[in-house]
Amino acid sequence: DDRQHFRRFLREQSSWICYDAYARVCISLGVNQMLQALSYYVVGIIAQKSVYAGLATFFAIKALSVLVLNLDVHSRSQAHRKRDMIAVFIFTFVPLFFSGMVLWVLDPLGMPDWLGGVLVTPVFLLHAGWLWYILKEVQPELSGEGGASAGDSTPQVRNASMPRRFRAVSYLKVLQSEQLDLVDEAREREAIDTEGQLREAREHLQRAMQAAMDEELAAGAVSASGPRGGGELERARAGLLERLEWAREQDAASTGAPSTRAEMRLCELALEKHEVWAQAPEVFATLVALRDTEVQEWLKPEER
């Protein structure tokens, strides 16, 4: 059933889409860290044998790293894009400058080991700064609460916190406009069907009540054990109650149509009327009995 499928998908989407989003982010960042490690390998191993080959490889890897990062992350504004480029230059190129200076310039001059350790310390600090910057950029933003900017294609899922800056997250929107139209159409058809089923069950109960009253009128007697307690009337009441509970579950899972909610209210009133109507003979008999003088003699003053 396509209606059941789409409704269940939309209801469950917010519970797993965050994990899917951060799995894609981890893949993107894993590639970035792999390229970072490859850059340090080029500086430490290849460049010791051929400086020019090392430099060419280094800039090629860094260009690939920046390109992949640019493909994975979108900037909300031009100022934001400039800030990203500055951060990429400081946190990815500068560390390689310090390590290359130590290996290619100062080490051949016979510098002390402690001086080399001091000079490469900024490499670790800047790499830690890059991880901190990434952490700030992948912080989740609650979808659907005003966090989206113009042109943002990140899927709007209620109560779903996602890293909205990563383009890979925008591909999570598997229900495109055509499918969403189908969802709306399915919901509309379901609302019409639900409303019709509720109306039919309510009218069935009302007809059963009217039939019971016609039998009582023909017999000239009213009792709780008579037609009012018949099996047909009880089945009509149970059927309406079952339909009403099902409609309430559907209404809680998605936004119900106003006409359906109005019909649900009529069904609730019909059930309340039936409950009072079914107990009317007992209530009437109790009132008649209380009027009897012999019964009143057995009652205490406060009970009277």
Burial 46-72 (b: 16+ CB within 10 A, else e): bbeeeeeebbebbeebbeebbeebeeb
The predicted pLDDT at position 151 comes to: 43
- The separation between the first and the last C-alpha atoms of the chain, rounded to the nearest angstrom, is 61
pTM beyond 0.95: no
The predicted pLDDT at position 252 comes to: 61
CA distance 288 to 223: 14
The predicted pLDDT at position 9 comes to: 72
| One-letter identity of residue 85 | M
Q: Measured between alpha carbons, how far is residue 198 from residues 204, 243, 268, 288 in Å?
A: 10, 6, 10, 38
- Which of the residues in the chain have pLDDT under 70? 1-4, 6-7, 10-11, 14, 47, 74-76, 107-108, 141-161, 164, 168, 170-184, 186-187, 221-229, 251-256, 294-296, 299, 303-304
The predicted pLDDT at position 256 comes to: 60
pLDDT digits (tens, 9 = 90+) for 38-90: 887 877 777 677 777 777 887 888 788 778 777 777 666 777 778 878 888 88
pLDDT digits (tens, 9 = 90+) for 149-168: 444 444 444 445 677 677 76
Count Cα atoms within 13 angstroms, Cβ side, for 262. Answer: 4
What sign has the CA pseudo-torsion 21, 22, 25, 30?
negative
Query: Could you tell me the two tokens for 259?
Result: 């006409």
